[in-house]
C-alpha cells in the first residue's frame, strides 16, 4: 500500500509567517472576548433587559467555548490548517457583523454564540500548530511571544470598550473590530500554508452530544452557583452542575471505550503522561485563582473605591501588559533553566499577592491595588508560559490537538468554577456582615476580602502542585557539520592520490 504524500517541511521563514498570522488573528478574536465588559449597563437600558439577562452575553460566550473546544481535537486532525483557519475567521466575522447590526437582544446573544464558535477553533489551532512546527529547544521562546498576545488582548478589552463607548454607540465595539478581523482573514488565507496531512476518520456521534451537554451543563451550573438569583432559578444550579458532571463522566467513559477499538472524539491517553497531568492541574488551580481575582477587582474598585468603569479598565491595563511583556522573557528563561525554577517562584508570588488583596480595607489606595495587580500578573506570567510549554511538549505529535483541546476545555471549567467559588463566598460573607450591622459598602468589602482569601488558598495549593512540575527532556538542536581543517583535507587528498 503506497504511503500518503508527505508535506515538505516548511522553511524557518514560513514557520515564522504561519505563527505570526495565527497569533495576530488570535489577538483579534480574544480582544473581543472582554470588549463588552463596560457595555452591559448601556445594553440593559437600550434593550430593556435585566442585569441577569445582559450577563448572558458573557455566559453564552463561555458556554459555547466549553461546548466546541472538546470537538476541536478530532476536527483539527481531519482538516487542513487553511480550512480550520478559514472556518474560524468566517464564524467570527459572521458573528461580529451580526452583532453590529443586531436589532434585538436575542439577535445580539446569537451573534455572541457565533463569535465564540470561531474563537473556540482558533485557540487550539494556534497551540497545535506551534507544537508541530517549533522544535523543542525553541518552544519556550515562541510560547512566550504567544503568551504576550493572549495576555494583552483580554486586558485591553475593557479599556478599548471604555474609549469606544465614550465616542459613540455600543455598536462601535463590533464595527471597530470588523475591518481588522476581515483584513486578517484575507491576509491569512493568502499567506497561510497547510501543516501536515489531514487524517480521514469517522466521528462518534454519541460523543458529540455527550460533550456538548456535559461540558455545557457543567460550566452553566458552576456559573450559576454564585449568582444572586440562584435560589429563584427554575432549575437549581447545583442540580445542573451535578447533571453536567454525570454527563462528562459518561463522555470520559465513552472515550476510554473507543480508545480500545476505534478513534475517540477526544483522546484521553494524553492524561496518561504524568507531566501533562501535573501541568493541567497547576493550570486549573492558577486559572481558578486568576479568574476569581478578575471578577473581584472591578467590583472592589467600582463599588468600594468609587472608580468609574473607564478608570477601572485603565487601572488594570498595566497588569495585563506586564503579564504579556514578560511572556517572551519567561519563554527564553524556560529554554535556559526549565520549568521548576520559574513555576515555583511564580506560584508563590501569586499566592502572596492574593493574600495581600485579602487584607485590603475600604479606603485602600487604588495605587496599592495597581502595584499588587502588577505583581500578581508577573507571578502568573512565570506560571502560564512554562506550564503550557512543558505540559504539551511531553505529548507525542499525534496527541497535540487532543492535548490542546483538553487544556482549553478544562480552562473553561476552571474559569466557571473559580468564579462560582469566589462569588459564592463573597455573597455569603457580605450577607453575614450586613446582618451584623455593617453598611452596604462595608459588607461588600468584607465579602470581597473573603473572596480573595479563597483565591489565596487556591494559590497555596498551586504552589504545592508546582513542586511536582518537571521539564521534559529536550533533544539538542541538530549541529551543523564542521568544515574540515587543513590536516583533514590533506589526509583526504593523500587517501585519493595514487601511490
Query: 127 vs 455, which has greater pLDDT?
Result: 455
Query: 106 vs 129, which has greater pLDDT?
Result: 106
What is the reported pLDDT for 488? Answer: 44
Write phi, then psi, for 363 (nearest 5 degrees).
-110, 25
226 pLDDT tier (thresholds 50, 70, 90):
low
What distance in Å separates the CA atoms of residue 362 and residue 303, rounded to the nearest whole number?
10
What distance in Å separates the CA atoms of residue 291 and residue 301, rounded to the nearest whole number?
16
Helix (H) or strand (E) holding 361: none
The one-character DSSP state at 6 is P
List the grid coordinates of 29.
478574536
User: What residue has cell string 467559588?
Assistant: 421
Burial (0-12, 13-18, 19+ Cβ within 10 Å), 336? exposed
What is the reported pLDDT for 147? Answer: 66
**pTM assigned to the model:** 0.75
Residue 283 to residues 208, 386, 403, 490, 491, Cα–Cα distance (Å) = 25, 10, 13, 59, 58
What distance in Å separates the CA atoms of residue 318 and residue 375, rounded to the nearest whole number?
10
HSE value, Cβ hemisphere, 13 Å, CA-based, for 102: 27
According to DSSP H, which parts of 168-231 are helical? 172-175, 177-191, 207-225
Query: 417 vs 1, which has greater pLDDT?
Result: 417
What's the pLDDT tens digit per position in 394-412? Answer: 888 888 888 888 887 888 7
Work out the number of other CB atoms within 10 angstroms of the CB of residue 288.
26
Q: By three-state DSSP, how is residue 381 classified?
A: helix
List the grid coordinates of 147.
503568551
Instruction: Give percent of the chain with pLDDT exceeding 90.
Output: 16
What distance in Å separates the CA atoms of residue 215 and residue 243, rounded to the nearest whole number?
10
For range 418-440, the mean pLDDT: 83
What is the reported pLDDT for 232? Answer: 64
What distance in Å separates the CA atoms of residue 245 and residue 51, rounded to the nearest whole number?
28
The one-character DSSP state at 468 is T
Taking a C-beta distance cutoff of 8 angstroms, is the pair 135, 478 a contact?
no
76 pLDDT tier (thresholds 50, 70, 90):
confident
Amino acid at each position: 500500500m503506497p504511503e500518503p504524500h508527505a508535506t515538505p517541511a516548511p522553511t524557518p521563514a514560513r514557520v515564522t509567517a504561519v505563527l505570526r498570522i495565527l497569533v495576530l488573528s488570535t489577538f483579534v478574536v480574544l480582544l473581543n472576548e472582554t470588549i463588552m465588559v463596560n457595555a452591559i449597563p448601556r445594553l440593559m437600558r437600550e434593550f430593556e433587559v435585566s442585569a441577569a439577562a445582559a450577563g448572558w452575553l458573557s455566559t453564552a460566550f463561555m458556554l459555547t467555548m466549553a461546548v466546541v473546544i472538546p470537538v476541536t481535537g478530532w476536527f483539527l486532525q481531519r482538516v487542513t490548517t487553511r480550512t480550520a483557519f478559514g472556518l474560524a475567521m468566517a464564524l467570527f466575522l459572521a458573528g461580529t457583523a451580526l452583532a453590529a447590526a443586531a436589532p434585538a437582544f436575542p439577535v445580539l446573544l446569537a451573534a455572541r454564540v457565533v463569535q465564540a464558535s470561531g474563537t473556540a477553533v482558533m485557540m487550539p489551532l494556534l497551540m497545535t500548530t506551534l507544537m508541530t512546527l517549533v522544535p523543542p529547544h525553541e518552544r519556550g521562546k515562541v510560547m512566550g511571544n504567544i503568551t504576550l498576545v493572549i495576555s494583552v488582548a483580554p486586558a485591553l478589552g475593557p479599556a478599548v470598550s471604555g474609549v469606544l463607548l465614550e465616542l459613540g454607540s455600543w455598536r462601535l465595539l463590533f464595527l471597530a473590530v470588523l475591518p481588522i478581523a476581515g483584513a486578517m482573514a484575507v491576509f491569512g488565507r493568502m499567506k497561510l500554508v497547510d501543516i501536515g496531512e489531514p487524517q480521514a476518520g469517522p466521528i462518534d456521534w454519541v460523543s458529540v452530544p455527550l460533550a456538548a451537554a456535559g461540558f455545557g451543563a457543567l460550566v452553566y451550573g458552576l456559573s450559576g452557583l454564585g449568582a444572586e438569583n440562584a435560589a429563584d432559578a427554575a432549575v437549581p444550579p447545583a442540580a445542573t452542575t451535578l447533571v453536567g458532571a454525570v454527563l462528562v463522566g459518561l463522555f470520559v467513559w465513552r472515550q476510554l471505550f473507543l480508545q480500545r477499538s476505534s478513534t475517540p472524539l477526544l483522546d484521553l491517553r494524553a492524561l496518561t503522561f504524568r507531566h501533562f497531568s501535573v501541568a493541567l492541574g497547576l493550570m486549573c488551580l492558577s486559572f481558578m485563582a486568576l479568574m476569581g481575582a478578575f471578577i473581584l477587582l472591578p467590583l472592589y474598585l467600582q463599588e468600594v473605591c468609587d472608580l468609574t468603569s473607564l478608570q477601572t479598565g485603565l487601572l488594570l491595563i498595566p497588569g495585563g501588559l506586564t503579564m504579556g511583556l514578560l511572556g517572551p522573557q519567561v519563554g527564553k528563561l524556560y529554554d535556559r533553566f526549565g520549568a521548576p525554577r520559574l513555576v515555583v517562584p511564580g506560584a508563590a508570588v501569586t499566592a502572596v499577592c492574593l493574600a495581600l488583596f485579602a487584607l485590603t480595607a475600604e479606603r485602600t489606595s487604588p495605587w496599592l491595588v495597581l502595584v499588587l495587580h502588577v505583581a500578581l500578573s508577573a507571578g502568573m506570567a512565570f506560571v502560564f508560559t512554562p506550564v503550557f510549554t512543558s505540559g504539551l511538549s511531553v505529548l507525542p505529535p499525534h496527541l497535540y490537538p487532543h492535548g490542546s483541546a483538553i487544556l482549553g476545555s478544562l480552562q473553561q471549567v476552571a474559569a466557571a468554577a473559580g468564579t462560582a467559588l469566589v462569588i459564592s463566598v463573597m455573597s455569603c460573607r457580605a450577607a453575614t456582615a450586613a446582618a451584623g450591622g455593617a453598611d452596604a459598602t462595608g459588607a461588600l468589602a468584607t465579602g470581597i476580602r473573603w473572596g480573595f482569601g479563597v483565591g489565596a488558598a487556591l494559590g497555596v495549593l498551586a504552589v504545592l502542585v508546582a513542586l511536582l512540575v518537571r521539564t521534559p527532556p529536550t533533544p539538542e538542536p541538530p549541529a551543523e557539520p564542521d568544515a574540515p581543517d587543513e590536516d583533514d583535507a590533506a589526509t583526504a587528498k593523500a587517501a585519493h592520490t595514487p601511490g
